[in-house]
């Protein structure tokens, strides 16, 4: 018989005082890794339960897709009894995560010092918009973080406006950074026996994801950046330009149009030195493989726009899956631009449990994104998000030991 299946964070209890996206994305990952995540909500619930609803009076997909595998309790932490119960929950937890506005938890009377005195082993993680300084009290949203972390200035086409990226690098990107900090603190606790404070700012997380753009900012002092295909005024270029669809790496890449010309009929192609000769044959210009004007990466670099135009003249004549087949046959790095519809229907993504269908008692089955972290000894089963206060009885009565008769009274008093 094989070993019993366990999960990486089994036995770790997380008090989840987060809402919207950055915090819930972090605690959902912890839940998928096996932690017991108790989502503590005000009696009205996480605001996203009601946002962007597609069905009336049912938890929105916004909520369900960020709160899988958690248990939900309601608690009004502004009431005296609520503070007592919060103290009890902190004492019994290994990790506490919050993403309220700066100082909100302190104003409840739960400073880091007080929390640490209640439970010296607790890892207390906070996600904020910004670090200490002039931005500290700015309200942080996904695209605000993108704007202030370097992403927007470098996304878009030359001469066009700065653009947001569809990837939620401000919210979910910060959540992943928070998970890394929490796991490191839990590991350090195995040596020290002590919990610690973990702080992650959305602006900082976006900047970390944009570090190659700061690389390029410093390279600018030695001349223009040839791998960016934009026309640049070399005399005045003192900031990294918008990169369009340029790869920004050592090998040039671009998204080229395919037939029949729909919004996502594109293939992204990388031109490596070894890929150039087969590419010239595919596009019907085999002479360019040996033409000194085109044969080397150095010769092609000033002509990237023209090079991708030549490739596009070929790709535009056939569907993206056909282009993909031809390019892959010659080991040319490429990938089709997949629409959200293609992704949600992709059988391989379903087979990998990254597109997952989950039954829900109120909304029926919904589709969500599964766990991207695959651990050989810690398998993940995706469970639906909890209903508001679904686990009040389990946690308050069975685990905290409150008398069963007290729960209706607490509800009547607005404590839970």
Residue 227: C-alpha distances to residues 93, 140, 294 (Å) = 50, 33, 16
- What order of strands is seen across the sheet that includes strand 13-17? 70-74, 36-41, 13-17, 95-98, 123-128, 197-201
Instruction: Name the active-site residue from 16, 59, 94, 171.
Output: 171
Residue 171 annotated among the catalytic residues of the structure? yes
Pairing of strands 334-336, 266-270: antiparallel
- The two structure tokens encoding residue 250: 């050592």
Burial class for 256, CB neighbours closer than 10 Å (0-12, 13-18, 19+) = buried
User: Which residue(s) pair with 374 in the sheet?
Assistant: none
- The two structure tokens encoding residue 88: 């009890």
User: Which residue(s) pair with 74 in the sheet?
Assistant: 41
- The two structure tokens encoding residue 58: 């049912």
Q: Which alpha helices (DSSP H) does 149-264 contain, by range? A: 172-192, 202-209, 211-219
Alpha-carbon span 198 to 123, nearest angstrom: 7
CB neighbourhood size of 286 (10 A): 14
SS3 content of the chain, % helix, strand, coil (to 5): 40, 15, 50
Provide the annotated active-site residues. Answer: 171
């Amino acid at each position: 018989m094989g070993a019993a299946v366990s999960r990486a964070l089994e036995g770790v209890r997380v008090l989840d005082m987060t809402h919207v996206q950055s915090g819930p994305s972090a605690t959902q990952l912890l839940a998928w890794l096996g932690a017991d995540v108790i989502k503590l909500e005000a009696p009205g619930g996480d605001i996203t339960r009601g946002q962007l609803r597609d069905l009336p009076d049912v938890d929105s997909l916004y909520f369900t897709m960020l709160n899988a595998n958690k248990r939900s309790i309601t608690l009004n932490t502004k009431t005296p009894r609520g503070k007592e119960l919060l103290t009890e929950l902190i004492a019994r937890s290994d990790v506490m995560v919050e993403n309220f506005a700066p100082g909100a938890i302190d104003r409840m009377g739960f400073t880091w010092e007080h929390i640490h005195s209640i439970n010296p082993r607790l890892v207390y993680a906070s996600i904020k918009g910004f670090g200490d300084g002039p931005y500290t009290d700015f309200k942080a949203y996904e695209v605000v973080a993108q704007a202030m972390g370097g992403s927007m200035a470098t996304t878009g086409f030359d001469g066009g406006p700065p653009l947001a990226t569809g990837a939620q690098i401000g919210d979910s990107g910060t959540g992943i950074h928070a998970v890394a900090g929490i796991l490191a603190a839990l590991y350090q606790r195995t040596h020290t026996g002590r919990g610690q404070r973990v702080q992650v700012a959305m602006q900082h997380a976006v900047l970390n994801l944009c570090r190659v753009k700061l690389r390029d900012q410093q390279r600018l002092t030695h001349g223009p950046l040839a791998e960016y295909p934009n026309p640049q005024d070399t005399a005045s270029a003192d900031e990294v330009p918008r990169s369009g669809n340029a790869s920004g790496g050592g090998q040039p890449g671009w998204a080229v149009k395919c037939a029949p010309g729909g919004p996502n009929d594109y293939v992204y192609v990388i031109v490596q030195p070894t890929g150039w000769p087969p590419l010239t044959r595919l596009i019907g210009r085999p002479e360019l493989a040996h033409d000194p004007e085109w044969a080397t990466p150095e010769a092609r670099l000033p002509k990237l726009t023209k090079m991708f135009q030549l490739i596009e003249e070929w790709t535009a004549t056939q569907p993206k899956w056909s282009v993909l087949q031809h390019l892959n046959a010659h080991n040319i790095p490429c990938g089709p631009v997949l629409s959200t519809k293609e992704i949600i229907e992709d059988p391989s993504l379903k087979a990998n449990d990254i597109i997952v269908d989950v039954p829900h008692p109120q909304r029926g089955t919904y589709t969500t994104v599964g766990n991207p972290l695959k651990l050989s000894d810690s398998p993940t089963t995706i469970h639906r998000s909890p209903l508001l206060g679904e686990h009040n009885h389990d946690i308050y009565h069975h685990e905290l030991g409150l008398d069963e008769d007290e729960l209706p009274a607490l509800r009547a008093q607005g404590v839970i």
